[in-house]
Structure 1
Amino acid sequence: MATSQLTASSVTASARNLASLQGLRLSTVKFSSFGTLKPGALTSRSFKRLVVKAATVVAPKYTSVKPLGDRVLVKIKETEEKTEGGILLPTTAQSKPQGGEVVAVGEGKTIGNTKLESSVKTGAQVIYSKYAGTEVEFNGANHLLLKEDDIVGLLETDDIKDLKPLNDRVFIKVSEAEEKTAGGLLLTEASKEKPSIGTVIAVGPGTLDEEGNLRPLSVSPGNTILYSKYAGNDFKGNDGSNYIALRASDVMAALY
């Protein structure tokens, strides 16, 4: 069946009136089976066979992916398709995965005259920054190719509270949001201020200086700290508690 090639300019005018295209980048859209197109001929019915591919697909002829430098290849954990009560979630309601298994690592990086191997090993279960890396479809599974620095920490259990931060990451249990104003008025969920205070649960080993020497972080488990409000990655524990993992540079003060 014939396939028509569309340029971004030829699609833009018609796409503006299609709610189904909101948020899509034209460069990622493939159109098939339209035949000969005339100006204004595209309708919402025309886009029923719209295909969007976000990941880079590795052809079957390639049998392995070898990360270079300090990059790591992670096999992405499958997204939860049902709630705990068994309700099937639509694709739009499924949260984007932030964890997976390391399946390949690069040779490491060099800082100054020091050669450093990767601090994560093949088989490790890791949590990574939400928007990090490049998605790769390989051997029929979704993977993420990212820098080691984008890995937040190691997680050997199914509960985020057990996260072991890497590098300069700080893992914090978020304090509960204030329920009332200073005058005693009860706050609704929508009007509650996003918390930016919490207790440090665990810290990474530290940062590396220009010569590759490890510099420990200035905060320790048990510290109550004030952190940048919109920094880091948010998580929810199995008990419903809120946690956040962020860089030490996003910690602004210790509270006593």
Structure 2
Amino acid sequence: MAAAYMTTTAAATSSRVFLPPFEGLRPTTIKVSSVSFRRGRALTIGSTRRLLVKAATSVAPKYTTLKPLGDRVLVKISAAEEKTSGGILLPSTAQSKPQGGEVVAVGEGRTVGQQKVDVSVKTGTQVVYSKYAGTEVEFNGSNHLLLKEDDIIGILETDDVKDLKPLNDRVLIKITEAEETTAGGLLLTQSSKEKPSTGTVIAVGPGPLGEDGSRKELTVSAGNTVLYSKFAGNDFKGSDGSEYIVLRASDIMAVIA
């Protein structure tokens, strides 16, 4: 049996919060080097020692199999980039959280209406998923993500997002570049450029599942120029610097021409 705990030292006073133990799980700890309180000032955290945060659920080594249930998928998370494209070493705090990985196990699927629907991705497939989706699990010495199939954005077998194959009701759009000047010819700074909400559809998913278990074809197709909701979806940058967004078809408001 293992337990998770948090220990904080503040002005020579130590406190411990003890959480109930769970079979098969190793401790999850949050250690803060030091905390000090000063009259009239904000709470400060000392930096003389390292700050360790370990949020993933850890599965004990005695367990060698993890089988997802239903329409859930187990993805082995790709390692975060440790260097920039220019070769500059990134500190751990600056490394971007990975949004992709390899499918290592899938559930038995789900029932929609009277029809049994299998999970649409197979083991060994490289996928991209929504930010903050699923539950992180440390298993067999590697970081994994246990998530629902619907949290998977698409399949990406290359290193360029333009090759993404969207799943379900998702759509891949190449974002229209922001205007560099105003209508009067004034040059816009980067901070004053309005985020575009139009773009060209690059690829579409097979459509959502209907109540009878069949796919419903999307009303937009590759090549359409569309207007979509601001702040929807997940943003990506292509290898050529172009910006893309993957969103649900329901976030597309209109086709423009």
Give the TM-score normalised by structure 1.
Answer: 0.84
1:246 and 2:250 matched: no
Partner of 1:52: 53
3-state DSSP of counterpart to 2:231: coil
1:149-160 equivalences under 5 Å are 149-160=150-161
List gaps (5 residues or longer) in structure 2.
14-27
Partner of 2:19: none
- Paired amino acid for 1:126: V
Partner of 2:62: 61
1:117 and 2:155 matched: no
Q: How far is 1:51 from its partner? A: 2.4
In structure 1, C-alpha distance between the alignment counterparts of 2:36 and 2:203, rounded to whole Å: 61
- Paired amino acid for 2:195: K
3-state DSSP of counterpart to 1:214: coil
Please give the per-residue CA displacement for 1:13-50, whole angstroms capped at 9, x wherever unaligned: x9xxxxxxxxxxxxx7534999xx9998x974487254
Partner of 1:202: 203
Partner of 1:30: 30
1:1-256 equivalences under 5 Å are 30-31=30-31, 44-45=45-46, 48-256=49-257
Please give the per-residue CA displacement for 1:92-120, whole angstroms capped at 9, x wherever unaligned: 22111011000000000111111000000
Alignment CA distance shift 1:38-1:220 (3 Å): closer
In structure 1, C-alpha distance between the alignment counterparts of 2:187 and 2:147, rounded to whole Å: 44
In structure 2, C-alpha distance between the alignment counterparts of 1:195 and 1:33, rounded to whole Å: 44
Q: How far is 1:184 from its partner? A: 1.7
C-alpha root-mean-square deviation of aligned residues, in Å? Answer: 2.6
In structure 2, C-alpha distance between the alignment counterparts of 1:149 and 1:33, rounded to whole Å: 40
Q: How far is 1:212 from its partner? A: 1.1
3-state DSSP of counterpart to 2:83: coil
Alignment CA distance shift 1:185-1:108 (3 Å): same
Contact 1:128 1:150 (C-alpha < 8 Å) held by counterparts: yes
Contact 1:56 1:137 (C-alpha < 8 Å) held by counterparts: yes
In structure 1, C-alpha distance between the alignment counterparts of 2:199 and 2:83, rounded to whole Å: 31
Worse-matched range after superposition: 59-68 or 44-53: 44-53
Alignment CA distance shift 1:58-1:199 (3 Å): same
Partner of 1:19: none
List gaps (5 residues or longer) in structure 1.
15-27
Q: How far is 1:237 from its partner? A: 0.6
Alignment CA distance shift 1:103-1:118 (3 Å): same
Alignment CA distance shift 1:43-1:163 (3 Å): closer
Contact 1:29 1:50 (C-alpha < 8 Å) held by counterparts: no
Identity %: 72
Q: How far is 1:139 from its partner? A: 1.0
In structure 2, C-alpha distance between the alignment counterparts of 1:38 and 1:178, rounded to whole Å: 49
Q: How far is 1:156 from its partner? A: 1.2
Please give the per-residue CA displacement for 1:116-135, whole angstroms capped at 9, x wherever unaligned: 00000000000111111111
Alignment CA distance shift 1:179-1:171 (3 Å): same
Alignment CA distance shift 1:226-1:45 (3 Å): closer
In structure 2, C-alpha distance between the alignment counterparts of 1:39 and 1:187, rounded to whole Å: 45
In structure 2, C-alpha distance between the alignment counterparts of 1:158 and 1:122, rounded to whole Å: 19
Q: How far is 1:6 from its partner? A: 6.0
Contact 2:170 2:205 (C-alpha < 8 Å) held by counterparts: yes
Alignment length (residue pairs): 233
In structure 2, C-alpha distance between the alignment counterparts of 1:106 and 1:67, rounded to whole Å: 5
Contact 2:237 2:243 (C-alpha < 8 Å) held by counterparts: yes
3-state DSSP of counterpart to 1:249: helix
3-state DSSP of counterpart to 2:162: helix
Please give the per-residue CA displacement for 1:212-235, whole angstroms capped at 9, x wherever unaligned: 121100000000000011000111
